[in-house]
Amino acid sequence: MIRSAITVSLVPEAKGGPFVFWDRIENACQAAAELGFDAIEIFPAAPDPAVRAAVEASGLAVAAVGTGAGWVKHQLRFTDPDAATRAHAIEFAREIVDFAAELGAPAIIGSMQGRVEPEASRDEALGWLSEALETLAARAEARGVHLLYEPLNRYETNLLNRLEDAACFLLSLRTPNVRLLADLFHMNLEEKSLPESIRAAGRLIGHVHFADSNRRAIGLGHTDMEPIATALQEIGYNGYVSAEVLPYPDSHAAAQQTITAFRQFFPSPC
């Protein structure tokens, strides 16, 4: 069954980014639960027992946990030409993988993947990314969860922008424990056809960021959602569609619009 989720950022440095809730975790969980979401997706500054307690008290599941604070707060990326920085990046992400696993959720590798920097070759950068994903995926597997790798659009990385390229890359790894995160906003910029790309990636897709073409809630842009929802059903997707969108016109309205769209495109069978 496809389930609904909504994002909360607990990282002030990410202000302006595509997260629906920004306030305290308790408030975000309460609003999400009242609107009927199945789960919350958390963008934390670091592992935090208080966050875990608040989510558990809310009764919501955790859809995923972002690692991006490693970049926005600490400027750590897996493809940094400096070996010590790369090691530090893996260490930061490993702590988030452990925290996410305690919550029964996968961690997301998005902005921490970095890019091919002028000081390095593309092969070197992809090699460093592979090393990081192998290490983190093994850690996640030992804790019973997947790792999620997210292809980003060309304005955020020059590594892998399309689902197909990212899928080939994941299949080249030794670990089978990394799944693709299909972010509909990035895909709108990079894919020829979103439904076709989803069908081609099939069972490799482990998470979806449910965002319209302008990174507002689904229904507020020009994405044709119906064929995308059909493609997700056809591949047997049974994960979360999680609203990683701007709080437009405000957090509550974006959340309300998201749950309305979710119920329209993924109606409950009973």
Query: Could you list the active site residues?
Result: 150, 244
According to CB under 6 A, which one of 80, 150, 164, 190 is a site residue for ligand LER?
A: 150
Residues numbered 186-215 forming contacts with ligand LER, rule: CB under 6 A? 209
Q: Hey, what are 183's tokens?
A: 């972010």
Give CA–CA dist 48/125, Å, rounded: 31
Question: Which one-letter DSSP state was computed for residue 46?
Answer: S
Q: Which stretch binds Mn ion (CB under 5 A): 91-99, 126-134, 183-191, 193-201?
A: 183-191
Candidate residues 38, 183, 190, 191; the one interacting with Mn ion per rule CB under 5 A:
183
DSSP 202: G
The one-letter amino acid code at 132 reads A
Q: Residue 169: CB partners within 8 Å, gap ≥ 6?
A: 126, 130, 160
Kindly list the distances between the CA atom of residue 142 and the CA atoms of 22, 64, 135, 146, 204, in Å, as whole numbers in the listed order.
32, 17, 11, 10, 19
Q: State the binding partner of 164 from ligand LER, Mn ion, none, CB within 5 to 8 A by kind.
A: none
Size of the site for ligand LER (CB under 6 A): 10
Q: How far is the CB of 148 from ligand LER (least distance, A)?
A: 9
Q: How far is the CB of 38 from ligand LER (least distance, A)?
A: 19
Q: CA of 252: how far to CAs of 31, 37, 101, 110, in Å?
A: 8, 13, 28, 25
Instruction: Give the residue with the Cβ less far from Mn ion, 19 or 266.
Output: 19
Q: 90 or 109, CB closer to Mn ion?
A: 109
Residues that bind Mn ion (CB under 5 A): 183, 209, 244
Residues that bind ligand LER (CB under 6 A): 68, 108, 110-111, 150, 152, 156, 183, 209, 244
